[in-house]
Amino acid sequence: MTTSRRKPAETRLRVVNLYSPEDARGVRIAPVKTFLKSLLPAISVRVRPSITRGMLGERLERLATAFAAARVKDPSKHVQTFEPMYGEVDYEMRAISGRAVVGGVVYDGRKVESVCLDLLRDENSLKECSVVFTHRLLSTFSEDDLRHHLRTIVCGFPSLISIPGIVEAPAKPREYYIMKQQLESAAAGELERARLKSMFKERFIDYDDPSAIEVLKGLALQAVVFHLTLRPFCDDPKCRLYNAHWQEELIRTQINSGKLCAVHASIVKRLGADPRLAW
């Protein structure tokens, strides 16, 4: 007996679904849609409501339990399967239903991806690329140094983009941390911390920074390129697909340069006209 399986290469990407974050909190996804549309004319791009919207009753409790179980409790260990605390589930239920603000907790990106995949289930055909924007902080465990690292993007099916990750994941300038440590050892207060931040103002992206939208555009493009090629990143630090580990790199590639390298410009142009999965 023979079985016929469609190769991914024969599949064309038709739609990119941009799932809005849990609450608006100053973030607009519409400019990301316009940006993707300009680069990928053959693909339809849709902005959709939050992936967790409209959960009630048992579904809400199940989802809240799954998010609570995805929390990173020890950055030096893989997230183990554990029964979440009553209070963690209670918080997640309030957060999902809009009665508490999401933030300040780190979640395992792969576990959250799996939670989102369950929610999408019927909509996760390879013809559709799902990109979930979230206010949750996401990390993945690195086998290189055996610890979790915060991420701006977790590429997968769906891909996840962490909005606070833009601020927290790429490292700030080294001098900032040295000075911050000195302040903390002197038990400095909020005033000193605020002053320190203003000293490094142009060198990292802070919360509520309007330029973060440019970073979101670049990250969304990485997510779509991942869907199409499984290779979302570029080694060229001037390319918008560069996986920045430092804030200054992020600012340079996404805001100051804002361009793709020649190789990726040509790849994206080709995929934009003929969005065939090239795995």
Partner 1 sequence: MPIFDKSSESSVTRAILSQFAKDMEEFAETDVIIIGGGPSGLMAAHDLAKKKVKVLIVERNNYLGGGFWIGGFLMNTLTIRAPAQKVLDELDIAYKQYEKGLYITPGPLACSKLIAAACEAGASILNMAMFDDLVLREKNRVAGAVINWTPVSLLPRQISCVDPVALESKLVIDATGHDASVVRKLEERGLIKTPGFGAMWVEKSEDAVVEHSGFAHPGLIVIGMAVSTTFGLPRMGPTFGSMLLSGRRGAEVAYDYLKKKAR
| Residue 170 near residue 245 (C-beta atoms within 8 A) | yes
Q: Cβ closer to partner 1: 215 or 234? A: 215
Task: Give yes or no for residue 85 binding partner 1 (CB under 8 A).
Answer: yes
Task: Give yes or no for residue 189 binding partner 1 (CB under 8 A).
Answer: yes
Q: Cβ closer to partner 1: 31 or 75? A: 75
Q: Cβ closer to partner 1: 146 or 273? A: 146
Task: Give yes or no for residue 151 binding partner 1 (CB under 8 A).
Answer: no
Please give the residues from 196 up to 225 whose contact with partner 1 meets the rule CB under 8 A.
Answer: 207
Contact window for partner 1 (CB under 8 A) among 2-10, 14-22, 99-107, 117-125: 99-107
Task: Give yes or no for residue 10 binding partner 1 (CB under 8 A).
Answer: no
| Residue 18 near residue 132 (C-beta atoms within 8 A) | no
Residue 11 burial (CB count, 10 A): 16
Task: Give yes or no for residue 188 binding partner 1 (CB under 8 A).
Answer: yes
Q: How far is the CB of 196 from partner 1 (least distance, A)?
A: 12
Task: Give yes or no for residue 72 binding partner 1 (CB under 8 A).
Answer: yes
Candidates 190, 201, 202, 210: give the one binding partner 1 (CB under 8 A). 190
110 to 139: interface string for partner 1, x by CB under 8 A: ---------------------------x-x
Task: Give yes or no for residue 279 binding partner 1 (CB under 8 A).
Answer: no
Candidates 11, 48, 90, 269: give the one binding partner 1 (CB under 8 A). 90
Task: Give yes or no for residue 194 binding partner 1 (CB under 8 A).
Answer: yes
Task: Give yes or no for residue 75 binding partner 1 (CB under 8 A).
Answer: yes
For 79-100, b where at least 16 C-beta lie within 10 A, e where not — what string?
beeeebeeebbebbbebbeeee
Taking alpha carbons only, the member of 272, 269, 266, 244 closest to residue 256 is 244
Task: Give yes or no for residue 67 binding partner 1 (CB under 8 A).
Answer: no
Q: How far is the CB of 106 from partner 1 (least distance, A)?
A: 5
| Residue 102 near residue 133 (C-beta atoms within 8 A) | no
Q: Cβ closer to partner 1: 200 or 233? A: 200
Binding residues vs partner 1 (CB under 8 A): 71-76, 82, 85-88, 90-91, 94-95, 100-106, 137, 139, 148, 150, 164, 167-168, 184, 186-191, 193-194, 207
